[in-house]
């Protein structure tokens, strides 16, 4: 079994969401009925990852530690690391070097939401011992994402291009990256780009040049949303609302995932239920217990 850990990058200033984010970190904003941070946390938990670091701004460390103060009651370990100034996604590996140590790591961006059937199995099977793996997802606006350029004849990935202005394909790379521990070494060699940050595309291209990057397209039934803008924040909330009401199930409930993974007992779940007294979240957990 691969010795692994996870990182949630929840820093940044949320400029595209101003004035909402002037005093509140965007990853604390609600996606329908849960804080945004619950979604990437749940994604890592679905992948079977129990040792997780959250990287955020210094002024937000206390808020996250208070919100997730019951992490021990979820059977997971949380570490909080500060990001003084956002310098691009690869900076997370530099900040988290001492956390990662000799382990493989799964990095997820705090505003990326994944929902779908069989997602946990897909994610847990993607944890790597060596090299790197990412997923691809077709989009209508490829100029806004890192795009995988594919050779039409061989179907091989040629390179990852950050926000290409000329059309090279429509397969975007979501903010979910599975890598070995060498990622900290590779990240430290990157130079700041013209955009003023370290580029994740350049980091992935290092793995690609070594023949160690796997790109897999998400199967149908898996949805991906980037909730970093006002329209996408609303769309994500609306999607979660519709799916939850239709199915009678909630998505991205850390307490439920911990319980179903066998990380906590039914008694512990009952204690967690009492900590959410008076909420719809409580009623959902109580319903789970009554039909189990």
> What CATH number did the domain enclosing 100 receive?
3.90.550.10
Q: What is the pLDDT of residue 20?
A: 82
Q: Which two tokens stand for residue 119?
A: 């997602």
- On whether residue 152 sits in a domain, the answer given is no
Instruction: Work out whether strand 157-162 and strand 146-150 pair parallel, antiparallel, or are unpaired.
Output: antiparallel
Domain-located, residue 209 = yes
In a domain, 279, yes or no: no
CB 158 within 8 A of CB 151: yes
CA separation for the pair 86, 200 (Å, rounded): 13
Note the pLDDT of residue 221. 74
In a domain, 223, yes or no: yes
Residue ranges making up the domain that contains 25: 4-131+174-262
pLDDT for the residue 95? 97
Partner residues linked to 159 by β-bridges: 149
Write down the pLDDT at residue 276: 67
Q: Evaluate whether residue 162 is within a structural domain.
A: no
Q: What is the pLDDT of residue 159?
A: 92
Largest CA distance in the chain: 58
> How far is the C-alpha of 142 from the C-alpha of 84, rounded, in Å?
30
Domain tally for the chain?
1
Q: What is the mean pLDDT of each run of 10 residues along the chain (292 residues)?
A: 91 79 88 94 96 95 90 92 93 97 96 87 90 92 88 83 89 94 96 91 95 87 84 91 88 92 90 75 82 67
Domain-located, residue 228: yes
207 within some domain = yes
Structure token digits, residue 48: 């079977």
* pTM of the full structure: 0.93
Residue 167, domain member (yes or no) = no
CA distance 162 to 283: 44
- Judged by DSSP in three states, 209 sits in helix
């Amino acid at each position: 079994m691969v010795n692994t850990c996870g990182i949630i990058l929840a820093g940044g200033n949320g400029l595209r969401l101003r004035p909402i984010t002037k005093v509140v970190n965007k990853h604390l904003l609600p996606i329908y009925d849960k804080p945004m941070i619950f979604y990437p946390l749940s994604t890592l938990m679905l992948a079977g990852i129990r040792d997780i670091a959250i990287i955020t701004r210094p002024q937000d460390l206390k808020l996250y530690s208070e919100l997730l103060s019951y992490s021990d009651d979820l059977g997971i370990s949380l570490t909080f690391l500060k990001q003084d100034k956002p310098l691009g996604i690869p900076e997370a590996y530099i900040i988290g070097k001492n956390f990662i140590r000799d382990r493989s790591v799964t990095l997820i961006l705090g505003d990326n939401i994944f929902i779908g059937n069989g997602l946990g199995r897909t994610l847990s099977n993607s944890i790597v011992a060596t090299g790197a793996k990412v997923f691809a997802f077709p989009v209508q606006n490829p100029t806004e994402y890192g795009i995988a350029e594919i050779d039409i004849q061989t179907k091989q990935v040629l390179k990852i291009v950050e926000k290409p202005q000329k059309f090279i394909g429509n397969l975007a790379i979501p903010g979910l990256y599975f890598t070995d521990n060498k990622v900290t070494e590779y990240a430290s060699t990157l130079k700041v780009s013209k955009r003023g940050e370290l580029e994740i595309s350049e980091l992935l291209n290092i793995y690609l040049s070594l023949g160690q990057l796997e790109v897999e397209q998400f199967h149908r039934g898996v949805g991906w949303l980037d909730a970093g803008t006002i329209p996408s924040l609303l769309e994500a909330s609306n999607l979660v609302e519709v799916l939850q009401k239709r199915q009678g199930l909630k998505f991205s409930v850390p307490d439920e995932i911990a319980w179903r993974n066998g990380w906590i007992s039914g008694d512990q779940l009952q204690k967690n239920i009492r900590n959410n007294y008076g909420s719809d979240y409580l009623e959902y957990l109580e319903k789970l217990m009554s039909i189990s």
